[in-house]
Amino acid sequence: MTHAPLKVAIAGLGTVGVGTVKILQQHADLIRMRCGRPVVITAVCSRDQNRHRGVDLSNYQWFSDAAEMATQANADVIVELIGGSSGIAKNTVEAALAAGRHVVTANKALLAHHGLALAKLAESKGVSLNYEAAVAGGIPVIKSIREGLAGNAVTRVQGILNGTCNYILTTMRQEGRGFDDVLKDAQRLGYAEADPSFDIDGVDTAHKLAILASVAFGVEVNFNAVQVEGIRHISATDIQFAEELGYRIKLLGVASMSLDGIEQSVHPTMVPLSAPIAHVEGVFNAVVTDGDAVDSLMQEGRGAGEGPTASAVVADIVDIARGIHLPTFGVPVEKLKPSQARPMNLHTGAYYVRLMLVDQPGVFADVAAALRDHKVSMESMIQRVREPGESVPVVITTHITSESGMLAALDAIAKLDTVTEPPRMIRIESA
């Protein structure tokens, strides 16, 4: 191993970029001892050179154009912390790889949409494309699956991959408040963006799940194969019923391997209280990986923020300093299999259904008939008492059934005159 310094240039000096600078400065001696060589920052890139960021940047070469820095800086590694699936972030990573420079990125959107092409470019140039920080912040989930579980045939990976959604669902449950009210608090506290769509509609989780599925199953990244459903429709009533039934509602990203393809979906899920992931609260993330040798492994930690995400960025830099070079998605690009998507209508499982029904004779018989006609078997039913003639919430849980049958039954139920709101369905996860 060479003892020459590893030279690093950082594009993007936002929260994570500044956190990366802090760790590399504050732990320089520790990192040198662990790597057997110094890791030094030589250049940074930001449009605003005069902004005070709380770290000393005076000894570094400054660039205002990240793509220019990718080829012109005196650096072995380009760290891309700009974000976005295209534009300057993509141009910077492509330029760095084409110039034969290692890349470390936290950009899940870029990898979800362009990961295969970027991995091919990195492989052709013999350099690393590392991205631990792109999924689950400070949790070393990529390293865990790609290296720690390399001797396992992974059959399933699932997780809470978005802290904003987990915070909202946790707070709704703990304080009995509605979705819109808690979302406003999350925005005020900085847990949610002014436009929270990316998080609450499940897109952020879907980006991360597409990456995890590729590493776990040795397939090409296929973001378009992920079925995505967010949490906007989850009500305080649903959360209350979930607790009564012995569940907690979590937004999960789930990828599973089967004989007829890979099922990838993001959706609110009723998780049994007996499952450890049900107790992951607030802004924390968790990932559960099932392997044939290890059985089930859960990792939990902070999924975002300056320290945790920067920690993952530095871990990738340290790997490069140590001379560790692995295929981007665990196997060479030419060995990645096409990602054959398993349609969600083939999914089988149990379901929670909330209906708003006019309380009048015969209404339950009509609902039961619709379920029977589509081969859906009820496991339990809860009805809230109200005055006759008013709409009442009725909750049904089902035995394991097909998703296609469940959706057809709900379509039939929605057409009943006694149903006053669209039925709400949430998938139930087994323990």
Segments in 176-290 forming alpha helices (H): 179-189, 197-200, 203-217, 236-245
Compute the distance between CA of residue 133 and CA of residue 253 in angstroms, rounded to an integer.
17
Compute the distance between CA of residue 277 and CA of residue 285 in angstroms, rounded to an integer.
9
Asked if residues 231 and 171 have their Cβ atoms less than 8 Å apart, the reply is: no
Asked if residues 371 and 316 have their Cβ atoms less than 8 Å apart, the reply is: no
Burial, 307: exposed, middle or buried (Cβ in 10 Å; 0-12, 13-18, 19+)? middle
Residue 255, classed as helix, strand or coil, is: strand
Known catalytic residues are: 208
Residue 338, classed as helix, strand or coil, is: coil
Q: Is the dihedral of CA 235, 241, 243, 246 positive or negative?
A: negative
Got the DSSP string for 115-172?
HHHHHHHHHHHT--EE-GGGSSTTS-HHHIIIIITTTS-EEEEEEE--HHHHHHHHHH
Closest CA to 300 of 283, 314, 312, 316: 283
By DSSP bridging, strand 378-383 and strand 391-398 are antiparallel
Closest CA to 347 of 275, 264, 230: 264
Compute the distance between CA of residue 399 and CA of residue 383 in angstroms, rounded to an integer.
18
